[in-house]
Amino acid sequence: MNQHNITNQSLMLALVLVVIAILISKREKLGLEKDIIWSIARAIVQLIIVGYVLKYIFDVDNGLLTILMVLFICFNAALNARKRSKNIDHAFVISFIAISSGTVLTLTVLILSGSIEFTPMQVVPISGMIAGNAMIAVGLCYNNLNQRFKDQQQKILEMLSLGTSVKYASRGIIRDSIRSSLIPTVDSAKTVGLVSLPGMMSGLIFAGIDPVKAIKYQIMVTFMLLSTASLSTIIACYLAYRRFYNKRQQLLMKP
């Protein structure tokens, strides 16, 4: 199969689609023009920088650089997840522990099982996929925790006044928050292949790999995404819920 080459002219033609979106936003007064332009400009700059960094890391093929790149990915994922934390103290630390734990554990299992090799060309892209998915799940977990503690504030106060422990008073909120946070990942797994052809599978097919082999890789990715999102969300939720109480196990009244 002939390899496809994306030229600068091809990119400019694809940019026309973005211009159409901007024109529609302006015509319908959606107010998204600046956001679209900023996001596109930022994506271009970030991808160019990352492209050259990855090229260097792949060429050097150093184990320490690979590990540092994985930690860098988890660090940025934690920073973005923290933005949804609102009143949760030490949200960055919690996010980093949760996301890095899930990512490292998943990568370790994949490497030890022989599914992937410990090379930057395989470890770094996989880390980006699973850490990014974990980031979304953890961010949703924070949103759910904040909303549910606010909505059920009176109920929790009543339970605490009756001598209920903090963990017992919060278990319903923890359970519902974890469940809600994982819905996008679970729904994505349900519809893979039927509604969407995910990035890895599409990329391998586009590169000329046999579709059956590409499917095996995508099944592996689906397992990874579900496991990492679940582990990271559970860790983040159990570390974060205690931030809604003080040292005397009293509920902090959040605005």
Give the pLDDT confidence of 79-119 residue by residue, as tens digits: 999 888 887 888 999 999 999 999 999 999 989 988 888 99
Write down the pLDDT at residue 202.
Answer: 67
For residue 138, what pLDDT is reported? Answer: 94
The structural domain count of the chain equals 2
SS (H, E, C) 160-222: HHCCCCHHHHHHHHHHHHHHHHHHHHHHHHHHECCCECCHHHHHHHHCCCCHHHHHHHHHHHH
- Clarify whether residues 52 and 130 are in a common domain: no
pLDDT, position 184: 87
pTM of the shown model = 0.81
Residues 6+ apart with CB under 8 A from 109: none
For position 68, what pLDDT does the model report? 92
pLDDT (0 to 100) of residue 151 = 87
Q: Is residue 26 part of a domain?
A: yes
Is residue 222 one of the residues assigned to a domain?
yes
Domain stop point among 35, 60, 85: 60
Q: Which two tokens stand for residue 147?
A: 């909303």
Residue 1 pLDDT: 45
Torsion angle of C-alpha atoms 62, 65, 71, 73, degrees rounded to 10: -100
Q: Residue 175: phi, psi to the nearest 5?
A: -60, -50
Q: Are residues 96 and 125 in the same domain?
A: yes
Give residue 197's region: left, alpha or beta (phi > 0; psi -120 to 50): beta
Last residue of a domain, one of 60, 85, 106: 60
Residues 13 and 79 in one domain: no
pLDDT of 219 reads 83
List of the chain residues with pLDDT < 70: 1-5, 193-204, 206-207, 253-255
Query: At which of 60, 78, 101 does a domain end?
Result: 60
Question: Which residue range is the domain that position 159 belongs to?
Answer: 63-244
In a domain, 83, yes or no: yes
Determine the pLDDT at residue 198: 62
- 94 in the same domain as 138: yes
d(CA 61, CA 118): 10
pLDDT at 3: 53
DSSP state of 115: S
How far is Cα 184 from Cα 137, in angstroms, rounded to an integer?
8
| 255 found inside a domain | no
| pLDDT at site 194 | 62
